[in-house]
Chains A and B, each alone.
Chain A
Amino acid sequence: MHLTRLVRLGVVLAANLVATAVVAQEGQLTGRVTDERTGEGIAAARVLLTGTPRIESTAQDGGYLFRGLKPGAYQVRVVAIGFSAQVKPATVAAGETDTLDFSMTPVPVQLEEIVTTATGQQSKLEIGNAIATIDASKVAQEAPITDFGNLIQGRAAGVQVLKSSGVVGTGTKIRIRGSNSVSLSNEPLYYVDGIRIDATSEDYAYDIGGQSTSRINDLNPDDIQNIEIVKGPSAATLYGIQAANGVVLITTKRGAAGKPRWNMYTEQGATQDKNTYRTSFFGRTNDIDPTSGFPIDPYCSLQNVADGFCTQTRVEQYNPLNDPAQRQFASGWHQQYGASVSGGSDFATYYASADLNDQMGPYQLRGFDFDSVSQATLGNIPGEQLRPNKLSSLSLRANTVAKIASNADLNISLGYLTSQLRLTENDNTLNSMVGSADGSGVPPDIGRGWFIVPAQVFAERNKQGIGRFTGALTANWRPMTWLNSRATFGYDVTNREDTQFWPTGEVNPDFYPEQNTGELNVTRGQTSQLSVDLGASATYRVSSTWGAKTSVGGQFFRNLATSSFARGRGLSRGARSIFGAATTEASDDYIESRSIGGFVEQQMSLRDRLFLTAGLRIDNNSSFGKNFSAQPLPKASVSWLVRDDQSQEVLNTFRVRSAYGQSSQQPGVNDARRFYTQAAVRVEGTSESGVSLANLGNPDLKPERSQEIEAGFDAGLFRNRVTVEGTFFYKATADALVRREIAPSTGGTVSQFFNLGKVSNRGFEFRIDTQILDGNTVAWDLAFSGSFTRNNLDRLGEGVAPITLGFSQQHVQGFPLGGFWAVPILSFNDANNDGVIEQGEYTLGDSAVYRGSPIPTRELALNSGISLLKNRFRIGTQFDYRGGHIVDNATESFRCAGGIVYCRGLVDRTAPLAMQAAAAAATYPDAQGRTTEWGFFEPGWFIKLRELSLTFNAPDDWARAMHASNLSLTLSGRNLWTITDYTGIDPEVNGFGQANFSSTDFFSQPQVRYWMLRANLGF
């Protein structure tokens, strides 16, 4: 039976081919898309021949051209940002060029868009999933954007951008619809122009505190046209393995047919730390400790007083970060210069750009430290020590689209980045500027109040140099009108050099005695991602009402990360080379993984109102256990345009949609294998090498399997002045890979991977776009979006004890991943009425209880834009809310329980009793020998005025006076105002950087404020 069908298909195809050869004559369709108000052409509008895979973009003058069309009738659909979509019929005759123009009606908010999918571009209406789209080119021009994360932040419901620090160049963690995996990465996949790129979220070779860099921030925001976010397995199935956390699709800018158009911009600004830091409290006494002979001063705590060990004579307060004479902050200069040119013809378009960026962090050697270093260096303070945090980059991009035949085109996308980042130790370490002040525990008369003086902190020089090339080549070939095939080859290679230099005799000799002899660490690494993507789609009609599209595809992906490390220790003064060092050391690493897979997808459409899609994907990967065989991943979705009536006053459009899909996440490269690594040993005066067990392995290891179902709606109201989008989702990860901590008594390794757990995320996300005012004098658009997500560890695995992370976090079955847990303080009572909560004057619970999630469970964003005087001025704001989570104020906890007492709760008799109880319970064991962090878990909610911008679009004659076509100036600020109950400096930090779940505020650099002035000039 199947054979019969194959024969019939072959007959039809052969007949069609013969017909093609015989007829040989094809037609063309051309036309112009214009704005009905002005008659001007609309550039970059998308023109679709519905029911076929053909899509063209309009040129600068609004013109479009389809070549190589089979004679016949077509439905032509035009979609343009800011305009209502239009559909018109067209008839193409053999050997002729038919013309069809469109006059587009402006609409306040957009309902229909063209989005990128794994099978190619298609209308958003056809897709059963919620896909967030961000017009990045517009955002970058008007908003204060300093890195890629800023483009997304607050602009896509259900997508959380979690910044960990205010240090320039440090990383970003992104979570889409919660966290799926207990032990693997929860970062989404990133594609740029169709190829997968390296987006390692922690990518600095050395431990310099909690901070690291993220490769995703290598992308130049000004080169990005738009960003589409595919949110979960229901939509990401066809992207294959590792797509369970969602996919971020980035499209860089393209040229449009027409004369060369130049765009130039410059941005000048400042980075500032305006925070007031915690005050340290010192209990002063004149007593001498009779046992040690050392003065108790300045640590006469309230407990010591109660125990009769000292008499507190006074309490002093100090923190060098709040002392203008010692504060090592200064405005950091931010400057950016960029230029791009685009244009082309009907046969080829191009876009090329260059961008030079220089961002200075807020740290600067000042005061006494400046003077001391200046004196030591005879006034030649190294720039890296004077301003230890700086990012400089040069981005180049060249994109071209060439129509190499009437039925084929070639897309080439090339990007190159070179950058240099200076970092200083920061977060989660006392050897940082913030840590040395916040965590010093000494008053100003000892070491000026610093743990390590800034001159020594800044002497340690950490740098990361990046050279990155990303190239994508996509060939599209339409051998027949109904058949579209594509082949994409991508190569993303990052060469990285991380250096850590400790100049001889310049760092703290007590803390770093070895490094003070001079040390240089160099790690050179290369990460490459090779991807091959082949696919084809056949679009056809199965009846007068039913259309269909069948797609197949196959992908190969290889990730290779290699690195070499070398260290030289014991350097002569002034030297900065490993050669000739007193001792040297070297190491290397090599991690490779490969995956291969394919998919098939069938889509059916009924009268372009109902769209049904089903698909299947199968993958294999080099990191699966030897006992595991690949399994198929299914997907299905439905989209129904219930109403599409622009004549209605209230409800103009209404679409319901639902989708189901599965995706997977691969284990680590060697997780399945039991292996040893080399271990050096000294025996009888000779250095030799033995082996040490490094991984227990698990031959049954298989990928995690995530499945998601979502259902939602899109509505256009009040003549599309308001659009509302809402989506419920539920996703569950079965066979969750759990890095199970092994009882140390096994004598094995720290952990072993098992497919044990189940994790679920459920929630609701929404977005409301509205044009409140639409006048020439005043126009006001508002976008309100948000999400509510509940994460739960449904199952951790039989016999698996809760997994402990960091200081106080655990993965516990029945609770959110990485939740904060501690023994609660049930009550406290100043029993002896001395105004002090002392050891024993509090009651602790029997066991640790859940306190809250480390990741926000609620996020809301309000983006507002007010245009004045025919858009002469535009005021943009973004308010960003996060809540429903807990921040561990570990800095304050350390100041109480870190071994030296200088927190207010244990020193200052006037401190509130609740504060005293929290501090005492963390510091002094109860009768059962227990302490608790409970009192330092604080609600982490905040509202930030994240962005504020004022754009002035200059009159045309101003631009003409400069021989330009347009001119705009934007003054903008970022992180301008915060409302929160958190008692630390900033709840939006994480001393563990981009760690999967571990979260703490531990000597973290708070977010800094940015002010920027940008000028855009178009020619």
Chain B
Amino acid sequence: MITLPVRVSNCLRPVVGIALTALIGVGCGALDTQNPNIVDAGNLDSPAGAATKRLGAISQFTLAKDGDYNFVNIPGTTPPISNDNSDGHVLLSGVLSDELVNPGFIPTRTEIDLRQGQPNNVTISDFFRSLHRARAAAEDAATSLQTFSPDPAADTGIPEMLALAGFTYLFFAEDFCSGVPVSRTVGGVIQYGDQLTTAQLIDTAIVRFQAALAHPSIVPGDPIHSLASVGLGRALVDSGDFVGAGLAVQAVPADFVYSSEHATSPSALQNSVSLAWSGGNFGVDDREGGTGLDFVSAQDLRVTGDSGTGTDGQTPTWIPSKYPTLEASIPTADYLEAQLILAESDLQAANFPGTLGILNALRAGAGLADTTDPGTPAGRVDLLFRERAFWLFATGHRLGDLRRLVRQYGRPADSVFPSGLYFKGGLTYGPGVNLPLPATETNNPKVSGCLDRNA
């Protein structure tokens, strides 16, 4: 042992300080790490990056519309964050309407099926997020292509992205209550958006579709032009402009169909609607809640299926066969819908023969017998919406139609939406006609809840 004067021990401190500084300095290079699973945002600011964003936007749109049953944790995140894992527009709009029921056990789906969706319902919040991600991805890809594409004027990806963005606004308007906000991230900073009414959402969709149609890369008859045309027609129908809707879709060619495509592998590409049906997660209840259509008992060729069992292994249900495989595509817009828009345009113009002619022409094409004039205004509306329901079964249109029956045709909600005793479990239907804003959206300081829960 030695004895040092106090001042000598003090001398150790700067030495130690120098040593520590040196250690940390030397260590700077030692902190370099690899991250092979992630793509830095800056690497996408190029023509190839913009094209990759377009593909990503189509992927996101497909997942938001058709569902995303492939639960995965996103690589590179700690603690892990999962994908949206959403049921999607087709299934959730269907289950809130009379199109589909939940023969399974997941309470959040039952809640929606019961027309009692609550803001803290994670099924709703997952779908809401997924749809907004699809919207943002499409708009971002459109901007990116406009900026980095070698020839933006000839790049059909731009109107395609604008059209897909338009559809996301439509889905918000058709599925959710009035008051859906649209926020953005600019330069990494969040800019919270004001709440938009249902009418404003539809108007925004119209603006997107019109912008797409105005793009010089496409002309009438092109698939992307037809996609935007049908989207515009659908938006105008939602807004009550039936004349404009008819005009928008009249040039859509008979062979047009724009679909979300699927594959068996990898799982992320599978048709989640088909997957959900085969697993008994969703099924059909004939004349659901007493007011629903006879999807099962009608034995219509357009809506076929077979009896099955719900996910719970006990609840009897009826499983549609519309998407028989995991590779089956789901149309986003097609000639069929364009014709149905024309038919409704004629109905609104008091030209029911024109309506009937279109409907029977479509039926003839499918080998179905002609339908006849019910003879009353209400009966004609019922017929048109029934035809729409069967033609557009499980494509994400029925909820919007039921809401239009209430909003545009003056039907009481309980006369078109399922009501009364629920088909299982000792429960009864609630009054909901749309999905509420999820509680997670209250992180937006401009939002406190729905502006209006009416149709």
Q: Which residues of A contact B (CB under 8 A)?
A: 2, 5-6, 8-9, 12, 16, 51-52, 70, 72, 74, 185, 207, 283, 289, 291-292, 294, 296, 299-301, 303-304, 307, 309, 430, 439, 441-442, 446-447, 451-452, 480-482, 508, 510-514, 538-543, 546, 548, 550, 552, 554, 556, 567, 583-585, 587-600, 602, 618, 620-622, 630, 668-671, 673-685, 687-699, 740-751, 799-801, 804, 807, 894, 897-901, 906, 923, 925, 929-931
Contacts and interface: CB of A to CB of B under 8 A. Distances in A.
9 closest A-B pairs by beta carbon, nearest first, are A747-B136, A690-B55, A690-B56, A596-B27, A743-B444, A899-B110, A5-B11, A681-B59, A668-B78
B16 A541 contact: no
Contacts of A693: 133, 136-137
B59 A680 contact: yes
Given A451-B313, A676-B56, A691-B52, 12 more contacts: A72-B1, A441-B105, A510-B280, A510-B309, A588-B75, A600-B16, A600-B17, A670-B35, A689-B52, A695-B77, A744-B441, A746-B184
Interface in B247-268: 261-268
Contacts, number: 393
B77 A668 contact: yes
11 contacts: A291-B421, A292-B285, A451-B312, A587-B72, A668-B79, A676-B38, A688-B55, A693-B137, A740-B443, A743-B443, A748-B190
Interface in B191-244: 192-193
Interface stretch (B350-358, B375-383, B401-409, B423-431): B423-431
B420 to A, nearest CB: 6
A671 B52 CA distance: 23
B123 interface: no
B128 interface: yes
Contacts of B261: 682-685
Given A5-B7, A746-B184, A750-B81, A681 B269 contact: yes
B16 to A, nearest CB: 4
Interface in B7-63: 7-17, 19-20, 23-24, 27-28, 30-41, 44, 52-60, 62
A121 to B, nearest CB: 18
How big is chain B's contact interface, by range?
A: 35 or more
Nearest to A582: B264
Looking at A9, A12, A283, A510, the one whose CB has the most chain B CB atoms below 10 A away is A510
B93 interface: no
B320 interface: no
Contacts of A584: 265
Contact of B128 (A480, A600, A682, A744): A744
Contacts of B6: 542-543, 546
A677 B75 contact: yes
Nearest to B43: A676
B410 interface: no
Given A5-B10, A587-B72, A743 B425 contact: no
A593 B20 CA distance: 21
B19 A540 contact: no
Contacts of B280: 510-511, 513
A447 to B, nearest CB: 6
A304 B62 CA distance: 41
B242 to A, nearest CB: 30
Contact of B55 (A304, A511, A595, A681): A681
B290 interface: yes
A745 B183 contact: yes
A691 B54 CA distance: 8
Contacts of B268: 679-680
B118 to A, nearest CB: 7
A673 B38 contact: yes
A742 B37 CA distance: 23
A906 B427 CA distance: 11
B116 interface: yes
A437 B247 CA distance: 59
B40 A596 contact: no
B76 A670 contact: yes
A590 B35 contact: yes
B128 A894 contact: no
Contacts of B316: 294
Contacts of A602: 9, 13
Given A583-B265, A679-B60, A801 B17 contact: no
B76 A677 contact: yes
A751 to B, nearest CB: 7
Contacts of A618: 20, 24
Contacts of A677: 37-39, 74-76
B269 A540 contact: no
Nearest to A601: B16
A141 B164 CA distance: 68
Given A296-B426, A589-B37, A930-B118, A540 B441 contact: no
A746 B183 CA distance: 4
B160 to A, nearest CB: 10
B97 interface: no
Contact of B263 (A430, A597, A682, A740): A682
A695 B37 CA distance: 12
B430 A540 contact: no
B11 A2 contact: yes
Interface string B437-451: 011111111010000
- Most chain A beta-carbon neighbours within 10 Å: one of B27, B58, B71, B308: B27
Among A2, A542, A543, A743, the one with the most B-chain Cβ atoms within 10 Å of its Cβ is A743
Contacts of B421: 289, 291-292, 296, 304, 307, 309
Contacts of B12: 9, 538, 550
A744 B33 contact: no
Contacts of B361: none
Nearest to A480: B2
Contacts of B275: 514
B24 A620 contact: yes
A51 B1 CA distance: 8
